[in-house]
Chains A and B, each alone.
Chain A
């Protein structure tokens, strides 16, 4: 069974750094694109960027380029989303999501990680 298990909720202050994780199991982690989705309170889903763990090819949505870093450690089947300096506007639910084998659609989601940033 394919599973994406994300790290727990985080409460941070503006300016702090953060790295959240998404561990994949039940499939070949290196063979599928995996991405991150932001959902701000009461808003829709925003595709932030994707990574192919097999060769670490990483791509970002223009809205998120330079704002976050996506990475993966294939030795432990885990993808990451990190911030170097959080802002209050980063407060949101973040989901990891795996694309299908052809990269044409998303077919699995993590349970979400709530990030709250407040002074």
Chain B
């Protein structure tokens, strides 16, 4: 069981917007501004899409955005495209593990 809870799957049609949630506790998501989101296509390494809750690294499309409210962080993908179909994982800094970081269980995004 992962430390952070994500929905197993979400889906949307091209052009629509979707939101993926990531729920933790006050020891991780709720207590710090260190939530990251990764995109993973089959057979590929994860790619950083969002860090520090809402910061988009250089080269990441502005269709991807992040936010946080309380113990839940969210990844929003607007203007869905076929290439967005992938698995998405959230991570957060945690004060309750010596490994510093905890992972979500992952969400499969299907573009209909």
Contacts and interface: CB of A to CB of B under 8 A. Distances in A.
Contacts of B103: 44-47
B2 interface: yes
Interface in B20-66: 32, 34, 36, 38, 40, 45-48, 51-52
Contact of A99 (B32, B40, B101): B101
Interface of A: 33, 35, 44-47, 49-50, 59, 61, 95, 99, 103-107, 109-112
Given A59-B98, A106-B36, A44 B48 contact: no
Interface residues of B, number: 25
Given A50-B99, A104-B101, 7 more contacts: A45-B40, A45-B103, A104-B100, A105-B34, A105-B101, A106-B48, A109-B46
Contacts of A95: 45-46
Contacts of B38: 106
A104 B91 CA distance: 10
Contacts of B106: 44-45
Q: Which A-B residue pairs are the 9 nearest by beta carbons? A: A104-B93, A44-B106, A104-B34, A59-B98, A109-B45, A103-B100, A105-B36, A44-B105, A105-B34
Interface in B50-103: 51-52, 87, 89, 91, 93, 98-103
B91 A105 contact: yes
Contact of B102 (A33, A47, A59, A103): A47
B48 A107 contact: yes
Contacts of B99: 35, 47, 49-50, 59, 61
20 contacts: A35-B101, A44-B89, A44-B103, A44-B106, A47-B99, A47-B101, A59-B98, A95-B46, A99-B100, A103-B93, A104-B32, A104-B101, A105-B34, A105-B36, A105-B101, A106-B38, A106-B101, A107-B48, A109-B47, A112-B45
A31 B24 CA distance: 29
A110 B91 contact: no
A66 to B, nearest CB: 16
Contacts of B2: 44
